[in-house]
A and B are shown apart, each in its own frame.
Chain A
Amino acid sequence: MAAPTDLTLAAARDALDAGEISAKELTAAHIAAVEAARPLNAFITETPEKALAMAKASDARRKAGEAGLLDGIPLAIKDLFCTEGVPTTAGSHILDGFTPPYESTVGANLWRSGAVLLGKTNMDEFAMGSSNMTSYYGAVENPWRRRGDNRPLVPGGSSGGSAAAVAARCALGATGTDTGGSIRQPASFCGIVGLKPTYGRCSRWGIVAFASSLDQAGPMTRTVLDAALMLRAMAGYDPKDSTCVDRPVPDYEAALTGDVRGLKIGIPKEYRIDGMPAEIETLWQQGIDWLKAAGAETVDISLPHTAYALPAYYIIAPAEASSNLARYDGVRYGLRVPADSLTEMYEATRGEGFGAEVKRRVLIGTYVLSAGYYDAYYNKARRVRSLIARDFTAAFKTVDAILTPTAPSAAFAVGEKMDDPIAMYLNDVFTVPANLSGLPGVSVPAGLSAEGLPLGLQVIGRAFDEETMLKVAEVLEQAAGFDARPGFVAGGD
């Protein structure tokens, strides 16, 4: 058997089932890996004692024949998910000292299925960012480096800590959240699989809200099968989230038949954007060829409003954020900066508690929602959002899934793109449309750049058809045979 930290989630499950390893052994190996990977700064809070206690309970359940879907599997949780009795920061100074007295529904679903909590992962503050550079707890380092260049690279964001932890073999899987690409873009940058489910598939209850009409939780893993297993455990109806949809959760593993013959895969021409690196274009064409070779048919499609997705997103997301973040007022939880009057206390607390990017977005959101601008900005953006969703509805009349690159570049160096917020926003150009339309998307590692960095391809599926999307993703994964390893692997090679 491979080192416990080098197993896939599915292989670890099988090894646990076969009695080749105990949950305690598997967990102990991962706790050591989390410690060894501290230079990456992927975790904000480590929970080794809790992990060992959960592993012990898992071994007891397995002995009693009561093992759940993910029993004994050590996972990392993005620090946006409230964890009962474990500090939750959202990567922000303003949540100093906050320890939730409740568990998020997705977290509760994972623990009910037997998973083990290794710790809480670093992230861009309030999930606002594409580099993990906006975290109050410092930048996360990507475990990958450019060939012949030792400068640290960003892991992407906002789920950068989760992506780095999974890539560096600290965890068999991690949760992320994706509002505009925050699962898929870091997955692409770190050479792992990241899946954003259909809006409404996973409950948002107990996840710190950024933009409620866009936020969705999903799995980050090293294989497509692992993402399928983890999604099944995370998903499900929750009456506490009124946008969570009451439909049965399929056995996603069963959908991975490897058979895409006859499936129609849309290739949207608007995703060939100016200035896209040739190697990304080439990888995309490679993906098309792989799917054709597997018996799928590719179809050129048009999603005519694609270019308007990002600007619409940068009205809608900040508008919702300015409203959601109104709750951080120094009264009920987190940081309080004392002042003489209540209003001054609010202003002082929020002035000190929020970082630069969060302030920028709250200000933009406040502006576009203010009297006189609401219709020109916010309503305009929501109309554009309707047009973008219609583009996909029309496309899915003729195709079963859509193939695109995940991001317009490979991981960039710490400090690059920091001067210009819009250059940073462009990272999400291929991922934002699926959020605006509520559709599922998954990034699969498909190749390496000339500099030796991972590049991902994205499959977008029909609403609530994660099964077809995963099936296509797995065929890409098999064809790509991506087996490159990052320069930094916890515990070494």
Chain B
Amino acid sequence: MSVDKDTVAQIAKLARIRLPEDHLEPLAGELSNILGWIEQLSQLDTEGVAPMTSVVELRAPQRPDAVDDGDCRDKVLANAPESTDGFFVVPKVVE
């Protein structure tokens, strides 16, 4: 499987990563190489094999449905690039 420049631009859009125009072509080459190498998995018959969900045999652990965390708003906001009045600030999303 190879990917072209437009596909790279589209994946980058999905991943919310801005890429300079002149990076698209080289990245298409690199990603195509990696995907081509990964392609060898198709040689393997996996019919009837269940996809692995967990490496350890685990029952989902249970705990009482009680709040045991919280009351740390200022700590949470301390790392924000921008905050005001107890909120994170982002560029305007609603006109």
Point out the residue from B52, B61, B63, B79 that lies within 8 Å of A389, measured CB to CB.
Answer: B52
Q: Do residues A422 and B34 form an inter-chain contact, with CB atoms below 8 A?
A: yes
Q: Do residues B15 and A422 form an inter-chain contact, with CB atoms below 8 A?
A: no
Asked whether A345 is an interface residue with its Cβ less than 8 Å from the other chain, the reply is yes
Q: Do residues B18 and A363 form an inter-chain contact, with CB atoms below 8 A?
A: no
Q: Do residues B44 and A332 form an inter-chain contact, with CB atoms below 8 A?
A: no
Given A239-B63, A333-B79, A351-B18, residue A311 in contact with residue B38 (CB < 8 A): yes
Q: Do residues A362 and B17 form an inter-chain contact, with CB atoms below 8 A?
A: yes
User: Roughly how many angstroms separate A114 CA and B46 CA in the complex, as a whole number?
Assistant: 49
Q: Do residues A379 and B51 form an inter-chain contact, with CB atoms below 8 A?
A: yes
Contacts of A379 in B (CB 8 A): 51
Q: Do residues B91 and A367 form an inter-chain contact, with CB atoms below 8 A?
A: no
Contacts of B55 in A (CB 8 A): 199-200, 213, 389, 436-438
Point out the residue from A199, A351, A364 that lies within 8 Å of B56, measured CB to CB.
Answer: A199
Chain A 347-372 interface 0/1 with B at a Cβ cutoff of 8 Å (1 = within): 11011101000011011101100100
Asked whether B82 is an interface residue with its Cβ less than 8 Å from the other chain, the reply is yes
Contacts of B52 in A (CB 8 A): 382-383, 385-386, 389
Nearest residue, chain B, Cβ from A347: B18
Chain A nearest CB: distance from B27 CB in Å?
7
User: Roughly how many angstroms separate A332 CA and B77 CA in the complex, as a whole number?
Assistant: 7
Nearest residue, chain B, Cβ from A387: B49
Nearest residue, chain B, Cβ from A369: B14
User: Roughly how many angstroms separate A354 CA and B3 CA in the complex, as a whole number?
Assistant: 21
User: Roughly how many angstroms separate A437 CA and B93 CA in the complex, as a whole number?
Assistant: 44
User: Roughly how many angstroms separate A422 CA and B42 CA in the complex, as a whole number?
Assistant: 18
CB contact list, B50-85 vs A, under 8 A: 50-56, 58, 60-61, 63, 72, 75-76, 78-82
Q: Do residues B40 and A308 form an inter-chain contact, with CB atoms below 8 A?
A: yes
Q: Do residues A345 and B58 form an inter-chain contact, with CB atoms below 8 A?
A: no
Q: Count of A residues near B, CB < 8 Å?
A: 70
Q: Do residues A245 and B49 form an inter-chain contact, with CB atoms below 8 A?
A: no
Point out the residue from A308, A312, A363 that lies within 8 Å of B27, measured CB to CB.
Answer: A363
Q: Do residues B37 and A311 form an inter-chain contact, with CB atoms below 8 A?
A: yes
Chain B nearest CB: distance from A354 CB in Å?
7
Contacts of B92 in A (CB 8 A): 341-342
Q: Count of B residues near A, CB < 8 Å?
A: 50
Q: Do residues B51 and A350 form an inter-chain contact, with CB atoms below 8 A?
A: no
Given A311-B38, A348-B18, A364-B31, residue A243 in contact with residue B91 (CB < 8 A): no
Contacts of A333 in B (CB 8 A): 79-81
Q: Do residues B79 and A322 form an inter-chain contact, with CB atoms below 8 A?
A: no
Contacts of A305 in B (CB 8 A): 44
Contacts of B51 in A (CB 8 A): 379, 382-383, 385-386
User: Roughly how many angstroms separate A308 CA and B11 CA in the complex, as a whole number?
Assistant: 26
Contacts of A307 in B (CB 8 A): 40
Contacts of B19 in A (CB 8 A): 351, 359
Asked whether A262 is an interface residue with its Cβ less than 8 Å from the other chain, the reply is no
Contacts of B53 in A (CB 8 A): 382
Contacts of A344 in B (CB 8 A): 18, 91
Asked whether A290 is an interface residue with its Cβ less than 8 Å from the other chain, the reply is no
Contacts of A345 in B (CB 8 A): 90-91
Contacts of B91 in A (CB 8 A): 338-342, 344-345
Asked whether A111 is an interface residue with its Cβ less than 8 Å from the other chain, the reply is no
Chain B 6-37 interface 0/1 with A at a Cβ cutoff of 8 Å (1 = within): 01100110111111000000010011011101
- Which of these binds chain B: A39-47, A55-63, A97-105, A158-166? A97-105
Q: Do residues B41 and A243 form an inter-chain contact, with CB atoms below 8 A?
A: no
Asked whether A315 is an interface residue with its Cβ less than 8 Å from the other chain, the reply is yes
Q: Do residues B16 and A242 form an inter-chain contact, with CB atoms below 8 A?
A: no
Chain A nearest CB: distance from B41 CB in Å?
5
Interchain Cβ contacts under 8 Å between A and B, 27 examples: A101-B79, A198-B56, A200-B56, A243-B58, A245-B58, A311-B40, A329-B16, A332-B88, A338-B91, A340-B91, A341-B93, A345-B91, A348-B18, A350-B17, A354-B17, A359-B17, A359-B19, A362-B15, A363-B27, A367-B3, A367-B11, A377-B38, A382-B51, A387-B46, A387-B49, A422-B34, A437-B55
